[in-house]
Structure 1
Amino acid sequence: MLKAAILLLLLAILISLFSALFFMVKDQGHGRRMMYALYVRVGLAALTVSLIAWGFYSGHLQPHVTW
């Protein structure tokens, strides 16, 4: 369940990033919609990082590295 939530947040980050690109092209740098979309992306990224940290802290996520 936690991995699905992280995956959905990463997908939402990509959607927000491409919507900011769309607003940048459409508004030609004169609107504030691009800035708001990037604010949403930063908030989603912070939420994703905190969810990953909580997953490692609680034991729901385990590292599988060989080194």
Structure 2
Amino acid sequence: MWLKLVIVALLLAILVSLFGGLFFLVKDTGAERRLITALSVRISLTVALMLLIAYGFWSGQFVWNTPWLH
């Protein structure tokens, strides 16, 4: 159960970073690097999300529920 909560929290953090990057793209006019920082944070969060999903399948906490696999 904790794994699903962490994944949802990471998804929300990715969305916040996405809209933060959009805000910086629209509002920044100078040579500030906040947009690049938002992108790198979003990429890091996405890598962490993919690793957690892979761990969930590896540990057996997530299973495939498709009818053609059973």
Same fold, judged at TM 0.5 (above): yes
Percent same amino acid among aligned pairs? 51
CA distance in structure 1 between the partners assigned to 2:11 and 2:42 by the alignment: 10
- Tell me the amino acid that sits aligned with residue 9 of structure 1: L
Q: Does 1:16 align with 2:29?
A: no
Size of the aligned set, in residue pairs, is 67
CA distance in structure 2 between the partners assigned to 1:45 and 1:4 by the alignment: 15
| TM-score, with length taken from structure 2 | 0.88
CA distance in structure 2 between the partners assigned to 1:29 and 1:63 by the alignment: 48
Query: Taking structure 1 as reference, are residues 30 and 61 closer, same or farther at Cα in structure 2, changes over 3 Å only?
Result: same
In structure 2, list runs of 5 or more residues that go unmatched: none
The residue aligned with 2:33 is: 32
Of structures 1 and 2, the larger Rg is shown by: 2
Deviation at 1:54, TM superposition (A): 0.4
The residue aligned with 2:56 is: 55
The residue aligned with 1:4 is: 5
| TM-score, with length taken from structure 1 | 0.92
In structure 1, list runs of 5 or more residues that go unmatched: none
